[in-house]
Amino acid sequence: LETGRLFPETYYVWNRTLEMYEKPIHAYYPDTAAVEKLVSLKGPSSFYESVENRKECCGIRKIEPLKRALAGNSCWITGIRAEQSLNREHMDPVEWDEANQILKFHPIFDWTLDQVKAYIRENNIPYNPLHDKGFPSIGCAPCTRAVKEGEDFRAGRWWWEDQDKKECGLHSS
């Protein structure tokens, strides 16, 4: 999903992936008119003002493009891992996503962060360099910061909000 607010490092790994695998990556963009309306009415950073505004932005920039990406498919493969958050810990490795009417498969659900890093190293897989700078979870640049030692994996996402509301809606079944 190309939200229009990604980090330069995300574009870097996108380009590295294209070069390495020589396979196209289909990008799904938010509806231009919806983004223009949101920014015109509420400004470019309204997501900082309330959970509702943040969810509205995520809905336009992430949820709607995801619905288009999933349309016509029977399975959605994700990189969700149980240790990423309390909410994710209670998911199943295979589940039915009611919101998108699709089977959802999390093949690395039970992997630890160390296992993920080892697999990346052993297989020379491109990854986002922000992971080496304290960003275990990476989303849009204005909504993501590095985490401090000992903080939850998702503490850097929407850090100005209550810790219990850390999902954007992509993985809400």
Tell me, yes or no, whether 172 lies in a domain: no
58 assigned to active site: no
Tell me, yes or no, whether 74 lies in a domain: yes
Tell me, yes or no, whether 173 lies in a domain: no
CATH classification at residue 40: 3.40.50.620
Tell me, yes or no, whether 60 lies in a domain: yes
Task: Return all residues near 119 (Cβ < 8 A) that are at least 6 apart.
Answer: 111, 125
Among residues 58, 140, 143, 168, the one annotated as catalytic is: 168
Tell me, yes or no, whether 128 lies in a domain: yes
Residue 115 lies in domain? 8-165
- Return phi, psi of residue 158, to 5°: 45, 50
For 28-41, how does the pLDDT look when each residue is reduced to its tens digit (9 = 90+)?
999 999 999 999 99
Whole-model pTM above 0.75? Answer: yes
Whole-number pLDDT of residue 169: 55
Whether residue 132 contacts residue 126, with contact meaning beta carbons closer than 8 Å, is answered with no
Q: Which two tokens stand for residue 139?
A: 């989303």
For 23-69, how does the pLDDT look when each residue is reduced to its tens digit (9 = 90+)?
999 999 999 999 999 999 999 999 999 999 999 999 999 999 999 99
Domain count, the chain: 1
